Amino acid sequence: MVQPERPSFLMAELTKRWSELPDAAVESERQEITAFEDVHNLANAFGGVSGLLPLWCLRDQDRMVIDTQETLCEVPIQVAIDAFTAAGNQIAARLSQADKRKWSRLLQAWERRNNGDSALLLALTIGRDKQTAETLIEDKILEPPSSFDEAANDNDQLRIAARMAGPLPVNQIKTVINKIRIFASRPAPRLDETVEATRAGWARP
């Protein structure tokens, strides 16, 4: 809908947009934005606590954009995953010490975090809802990631293609994926050179 310079500017940009749209369109977009915020703004995880600065975490290829409103930075994706895992382990240890029985379900969920729901993992990987992911799995169009680590690696070409297909209807996504399956992978040295040159350009201070 909009392309803010940083995640914490999202609502300001949307407010401008919504001032020119009918109420029905605004409400529809507001639901999408709420779902987007629930996934990417970790401050929303602290239910009942107000006044917190946002903690936006958005993946950008092999890096993670982190925006607290006061600070904006990018770190390698694995560094972000390691930091979140360390924080989760510390929280789990404190809950276990406080009352292991009371927090047993939460602690078990954390222990099993790498064996998540296959349809949900696929949905997160391709940027679609769980129902679409279930359909693509049932119709044998896409294989879901086997673990969170595999989903985070994001190196499956067909899943990447499904994500790039964006909000196309599921039948059109099936067509795209089936057409891609026809073509065999082959070396593309000039494209590889372009990719490396682009990465080098991004890495410059």
Residue-wise pLDDT for 44-93, tens only, equals 888 778 788 999 999 887 889 999 989 999 999 889 999 999 999 999 99
Give the residue, 185 or 72, on which the prediction is more confident.
72
DSSP 157-193: HHHHHHHHTTT--HHHHHHHHHHHHHSPP---HHHHH
- Tell me the β-bridge partners of 65: 58, 74
Question: Taking residues 148-166, what's their average pLDDT?
Answer: 85
pLDDT higher than 80, residue 16: yes
61: alpha, beta or left, given left = phi > 0 and alpha = psi -120 to 50? Answer: left
